[in-house]
Amino acid sequence: VEVGSSRRNAGIGFGSMTVSAVAVVSDARRGGAALTGLGLGSIGRYAHGGLLRERFMPRLRAAAPADYADGSGDSIDPCRAWDLLMRDEKPGGHGERSGAVGVLDAALWDLAAKIADLPLWRLLARRFGNSSAPPLVPTYASGGHYCPGDDLESLRQELRQAQARGHTRFKIKIGGAPLADDLRRIEAALEVAGGGEHLAVDANGVLDRSRAFRYVEALQGYRLAWLEEPADPLDFELYAEIARAWPGSLGTGENLFSAADARNLLRYAGLRRERDWLQMDPLLGYGVPEYLRMLEAVEAAGWSRRRCVPHAGHLFAQHLAAGLGLGGHESATDPGQPFGALAGDATLEQGVVRLGEAPGIGIEATPSCLALFGVLLP
Ligand SMILES: [Mg+2]
């Protein structure tokens, strides 16, 4: 489904952006109706329809229900289903399949949570040993894209509106304009945010070495919350050099899709466990089972999972952040967008989202997300 807009970051425009919407219809029933699990893909990597239709959905359909049932026999075990999806897949070279598996995994977890009559965050917390944690997720407002007719007042306005909704921390785009223009945008944003610790900047991986170091030099005095993806996300040695020169925090990981990639990031990119942010996106990276392996790698490297704040702003990440005890959540500044919405009956106050008790992920209760399912739902 199309989720295009006229926004740009430093690397890409979103005019032809698409995401996959997946519905897993089951024979479990509530109130006479069949329960359906819904998954909605992440933003920035386009839809995965070909992979889903040709490879992953047929594999699941061909499986015997006993092979993905949970121990009770009343529900599905998404981790067992994941093993079926990944049968005959070689390790490494993750490409786009990790996003296809991620969105299907999300739909399976939504279904499992609905069968259990629990919000997904609570199901995850119970299953993965975090059940005493309150469903509170520190959340920042992400936006400040380059737009047609861009001006500083519209940027300030965007942040003011997010502030009025309850946000206290913001992130804007850099790297898509000359440095002097980006500095003016940062200063405009700071007028609303109130101080560097309330504002992060994201270059979306586009700066080459010399530009990256010019930004590092020019931005130091602002004491920003973090600098995100200043350079190509796979150039770990360059990240290590930037980390030595940049006194603030760095954020990266949204373009790494596997536990092996996360492990290499932690080994070779010079990141600092007390300061930097890991932004791997569970929807783009094979879903919950692989995200749990990423958390294992994070903790094995001596980091806290509180340094993990997933990319994108989708409802699935909100539930993982609460259920698995992560450090926070990204949310688009515009609450009318699928990636700016709160899950179901969640609320936002002083930069903290409190998740509610509606079963599943909450897509049905979120009009901007539900609208994307179109013909999939009666
Ligand atoms: Mg980013």
- Cα 143 to averaged position of ligand 1 atoms, centre (Å): 10
Q: How far is CA 281 from the centre of its chain?
A: 4
Under 8 Å CB-to-CB from 230, ≥6 apart: which residues?
175, 203, 205, 207, 212, 215, 216, 239, 242, 246, 250
Q: Residue 375's pLDDT band (boundaries 50, 70, 90)? A: confident
Name the CA radius of gyration of the chain, rounded. Answer: 20
Mean pLDDT of 340-357: 93
Q: Residue 377's pLDDT band (boundaries 50, 70, 90)? A: confident
- Cα 311 to averaged position of ligand 1 atoms, centre (Å): 7
Instruction: Compare 252 and 148 and report the one with higher pLDDT.
Output: 252
Quote the pLDDT of residue 42.
97
Mean pLDDT of 313-333: 97
Instruction: Concatenate the DSSP letters of all residues of 45-69 into one string.
Output: S---HHHIIIIIHHHHHHS-GGGTB
- Cα 229 to averaged position of ligand 1 atoms, centre (Å): 7
| Cβ–Cβ < 8 Å for 42, 279 | no
Q: Which segment of 71-80, 173-182, 270-279, 335-344 scores lowest on mean pLDDT?
A: 335-344
Residues serving a catalytic function are 173, 311
Q: Which segment of 53-67, 165-179, 246-260, 364-378 scores lowest on mean pLDDT?
A: 364-378
Mean pLDDT of 26-40: 94
Quote the pLDDT of residue 289.
98
- Cα 326 to averaged position of ligand 1 atoms, centre (Å): 17
Model confidence pTM above 0.95: yes
- Cα 44 to averaged position of ligand 1 atoms, centre (Å): 10
Quote the pLDDT of residue 222.
98
Quote the pLDDT of residue 286.
98
Angle at Cα 251 formed by Cα 249 and Cα 254, nearest 5°? 175
Instruction: Concatenate the DSSP letters of all residues of 266-323 into one string.
Output: HHHS---TTT-EE---TTTTTSHHHHHHHHHHHHHTT--GGGB--SS--HHHHHHHHH
Quote the pLDDT of residue 61.
96
Quote the pLDDT of residue 36.
97
Residues by chain with Cβ below 5 Å of ion ligand 1: 202, 228
- Model confidence over 90-124: pLDDT tens digits? 999 999 999 999 999 999 999 999 999 999 999 99
- Residues recorded for the chain: 378
Query: Would the pLDDT of 89 be above 90?
Result: yes
| Cβ–Cβ < 8 Å for 50, 3 | no
Query: Would the pLDDT of 174 be above 80?
Result: yes
Residue labelled with tokens 């070279």: 93
Q: Which candidate, 283, 348, 269, 334, places its Cα nearest to that of 311?
A: 283
Say how far apart CA 323 and CA 134 lie, in whole Å: 9
- Cα 131 to averaged position of ligand 1 atoms, centre (Å): 30
Query: Would the pLDDT of 277 be above 80?
Result: yes
Mean pLDDT of 248-258: 98
Quote the pLDDT of residue 148.
83
Say how far apart CA 99 and CA 42 lie, in whole Å: 8
